[in-house]
Chains A and B, each alone.
Chain A
Amino acid sequence: MSVSIPKDLVGDVPDDSIPALVGVRLLKTDSSTAIFGNYENGDREIRFSPLIPFTHGLHYGVWVRGRRVGSFEIPAVNATDRPELTSVYPSGDTLPENLLKIHLYFSRSMREGQSGKYVTLLKNGKDTVSGAFLDLQPELWNADRTKLTLWLDPGRIKRDLQPNQRLGTPMQRGSQYKIMVSQDWQDTRGAHLSKSFEKSFVTTGKDNLSPVPTRWKLGIPKKATSQRLIIIFGESLDYGLLQEVFSIKNASGATVSGKWSTVMEETQCAFEPEHPWQPGKYVLQIENRLEDLAGNSLKRPFDRDIRSKRPVRTEGRYTEIAFQIP
């Protein structure tokens, strides 16, 4: 946004004198500070673009040669046009006590650095678990600030680290928990969430084991159809990573194009091909960075006991599962 100041208010001024003679200020008790921005000297007007957008709901004044010549208001945000928290993952209602990550999806770009204020974990309907989430600066947002990943404090989850010993794990098995997101959270324009959000779940025991793809089951589609290929994991896996780690190659090694989706509380993935399946051999390629809900990846468990003789599960970048469309 920028504001145009007609030349007849300013008179003829050389480019380099504009900032000395013309200024836009925030209208408040002490309006002595000209705000930072760039001036463009046009034929009939001087256009001022502030470094950051003018703020909704605030009043600004235009000063020329030390005299206020006008003012304007940036209208407040339309209160009916509000952002929503559209989904929260994991979507299941039974989660391991060492759950590592929560993904929040919003309908609009949200303000950063606010999660500590607005997201709380409640135990048994009454006690707020303090310090449950890791306070990260910067927070883990996607580029357009519509998806946020929160980590439950890994120092408290990792066995024998000081936070784990002093404070214990954020969650304990066999308890009821609620993730609560306050309505006060604002989007980048300053509009609040349309409503507050609650997700309830119960906790089961610790999951310290890496997912094992050889135990997964595949639902094989019929040839010459666009039926979905189903991958059944037998446990819920991390939603964020499920979006990224799979691909299907045909016999010649080319990637089969199509759409992936996550179903049944992230215990299954489905792949719908763009073109009907041709009979033949295929390979499901999985990046080994895929994790379950407790941060155990295909490569290694979240916490690996180095005294254990068991080797790191998988080396390399990918695990492959071959299948055939008859």
Chain B
Amino acid sequence: MKKIYFLMVALAGLMLLANTTRTTRGKYGMVVGTPAIKSISGLAFGPDGVLLVGDSKSATVFAIDTKDATASQTAPVEIKNLDQKIAALLGTEVQNITIQDIAVNPASKSIYCAVQHSDGTPVILKIDGDKIQPVNTKNVAFSSLALNNAPAEDAKDKRGNSVRVAAISDIGFADGKVLVSGLAGQEFASTFRSIPFPFSDKQDQATLEIYHAAHGKYETLAPIRTFTTAEIKGKKYLVASYTCTPLVLFPMDELKPGTHVKGRTVAEMGSGNSPVDMVTMTKGGESFLMMANSARPVFKVKYKSIEAYQGSLTTPVEENFATAGVDFVSLPVTNVVQLDKLDDTRMVLLQRRSNGSLDLWISSERYL
């Protein structure tokens, strides 16, 4: 065999450079360039196939036009050992990658998947049927919004901004707004932002601290872990699950910049467990909250029960919350690590099977 000459060239840092090549603003105020994505904590979709990327490391939300806005010709299928297939396609071994999030593009029904290499390099993949392809993030139409809205005093580097620890815990899109929940490592508090999309230059965003009454006895301030939105009796709600497990409802119209909103705790989902993902599904005119958990099966909660329960929360609840709260059903599906909505009645699940295989599959409507 002819001896191959090869040369390794260090390109470290290259992908961190945002080289915007054109400044004319297109649809949604986007420009063509390369978004400087440093990490991917969460993926969500905005309108017309716009992919929203929550980047904890640069405290930025990116909106990328995927141009994937028409229904895919390929129906989603089960993919066994998804992590191993992705590792092979990236030229590494499975222990060196983590699947950070999956999100279904509602326009095309393609599944988008955020993967992180052990050195931190983020990759976005698109899954159509059984075909996995990289999503190009070079010279694409995009816009971005820095979440660091700290006043100038804060931004001053007292002893290096680099020690600041924070993460985006979830990202979503509802009614023309990008919703972002965040955690700061330093303080035990919640930040929830509702950002109008397209992003405006004046960064008109709501930053909220949220209190929730657990038990009617102790008022606590805690960070949101994951959330979804739902309509209950014609009113829009943020359905949030917390780092300390309660499930809390907030009326969307009360989430205004600078306000403190008191949420209503509707359930506690168990000890030693944390919610992973939540989606709102509908079947036969009834809607359901589906929730994947770290140490429990997938829960199904009827929004009807939440509605019924809401009345009783207008006054502090005296009884023990360990047994109070809305009823929920445990589905015979455990170890779901990622969950998203495919359509009203079907979900995309990434599940660690009992044989160790990490499989992507589509639930049928019988789970509702």
Residues of A with Cβ closer than 8 Å to B?
1-6, 9, 24-26, 33, 35-38, 45, 47, 49-55, 58, 60, 62, 68-72, 100-101, 103, 109, 111-113, 131, 134-145, 147-149, 151, 153-156, 158-163, 165-167, 186, 188-190, 238, 240-241, 243-244, 246-247, 255, 259-260, 289, 291, 295, 297, 300, 302-307
Contact = CB atoms under 8 A, between A and B. Distances in A.
Contacts of B274: 134-136
A110 to B, nearest CB: 10
Contact of B164 (A1, A113, A142, A160): A142
30 contacts: A6-B4, A25-B91, A35-B91, A51-B90, A52-B121, A54-B92, A55-B91, A58-B92, A134-B243, A136-B167, A136-B243, A138-B100, A140-B185, A160-B217, A160-B218, A161-B245, A161-B246, A161-B321, A162-B322, A163-B272, A166-B272, A188-B120, A244-B154, A244-B186, A247-B156, A247-B158, A295-B188, A303-B220, A305-B217, A305-B218
B207 interface: no
A169 to B, nearest CB: 12
Contacts of A136: 167, 169, 183, 225, 243, 274
Q: 10 tightest CB-CB pairs across the interface, nearest first?
A: A70-B4, A149-B185, A155-B244, A35-B91, A163-B271, A140-B185, A166-B271, A52-B117, A188-B119, A240-B186
A280 to B, nearest CB: 21
B244 A163 contact: yes
Contact of B116 (A50, A112, A159): A112
B92 A149 contact: no
B346 interface: no
A304 B215 CA distance: 12
A246 B154 CA distance: 10
Nearest to B97: A52
Contacts of A144: 162
B144 interface: no
B123 to A, nearest CB: 5
Contact of A53 (B1, B117, B215, B220): B117
A103 B164 CA distance: 11
Interface stretch (B6-14, B198-206, B278-286): B6-14
Contact of B153 (A53, A190, A247): A247
Contacts of A255: 153, 156
B98 interface: yes
Nearest to A32: B88
Interface in B177-208: 183, 185-189
Given A2-B8, A112-B98, A160-B321, 13 more contacts: A1-B8, A36-B91, A45-B7, A54-B92, A58-B91, A70-B1, A142-B162, A143-B38, A151-B188, A153-B244, A160-B215, A255-B153, A297-B189
B322 A158 contact: no
A167 B188 contact: no
A306 B222 contact: no
A141 B57 CA distance: 8
B4 A5 contact: yes
A2 B93 contact: no
Contacts of B27: none
B129 interface: no
Interface in B101-143: 116-121, 123, 134, 138
Given A3-B6, A53-B119, A143 B162 contact: yes
Contacts of B2: 9, 69-70
Given A136-B167, A144-B162, A36 B90 contact: yes
Interface in B147-165: 153-154, 156, 158-159, 162-165
Interface of A is mostly: mixed
A241 B154 CA distance: 12
Contacts of B74: none
Interface centre among A36, A37, A147 (most CB of B within 10 A): A36
B233 interface: no
A55 B58 contact: no
Contact of A33 (B57, B89, B119, B245): B89
Contacts of B96: 55, 190
A302 B188 contact: yes
B187 A243 contact: no
Interface string B207-230: 000000111111111100100000
Contacts of B38: 143
A72 B243 CA distance: 46
Contacts of A167: 271-272
Contacts of A247: 153, 156, 158
Contact of A161 (B153, B268, B272): B268
Contact of A111 (B11, B118, B244): B118
Contacts of A158: 214, 218, 220, 222, 244
B351 interface: no
Nearest to A157: B244
A1 B88 contact: no
A161 B244 contact: yes
